[in-house]
Amino acid sequence: MIRSDAALRVLLVCSANRFRSPLAECLMRREFAEHMIEVESAGIHATDGAPAHQAARSVALLHGLEGLESHRTRRLTPQLAGGADLILTMDEQQQHAVMRMMPTYTGRVLLLGCWRGVNVCDPLVTSENSRRWIFGLLSECVSDWKQRMTLVLSSMVAARALRSQCRLH
């Protein structure tokens, strides 16, 4: 569940929540570890409770990402989406599906690859080259978000600290 004390709550969405969004979730958690950001993932067509795909776990292990071994899939629900400040989808079809589910969230639903103008397509999980390419693209897209959000997140944390100090006096 997304915490209320996070400066920013991000939900990553793909189809089944077994490869792309869980890997992106782990990458984003690692990239934003020093910020008060809560990251979760879900799938539009996910079956609740399944583990991450073995191919995703292998890629995560290869790149030193933690958290995928305990990952369990979750189906995207309005309640889950409603707790997010920002929803990042892997492709435009998912973006439109989320906007149909949450029409008032249109400005909060963006593509993970929007800064590159790309969709992060489902990999052919049987192809090591495909898995490697998708992981590289996910990494680049998460880095793009970090470059754009770091200053904003730092300002939000500073403002929160200032509010806390004001309450103490």
Three-point CA angle 51, 54, 60, nearest 5°: 95
- What the chain holds in terms of domains, given with CATH numbers, is 8-168 (3.40.50.2300)
- Both structure tokens of 20: 């792309």
For 134, the 3-state DSSP assignment is helix
pLDDT of residue 3: 45
21-37: pLDDT as tens digits:
999 999 999 999 888 88
Spatial CB neighbours of 1, under 8 Å, sequence gap ≥ 6: 83
- Both structure tokens of 60: 């995560």
Instruction: Using the structure block, give the residue that is written with the tokens 């998912």.
Output: 94
109-135: pLDDT as tens digits:
999 999 999 999 988 767 889 999 999
Q: Is the CA virtual torsion 27, 30, 33, 34 positive or negative?
A: negative
Q: How high does pLDDT run on average in the chain?
A: 90
DSSP 48: T
75-95: pLDDT as tens digits:
999 999 999 999 999 999 999
- C-alpha to C-alpha distance for 107 and 92, rounded to whole angstroms: 14
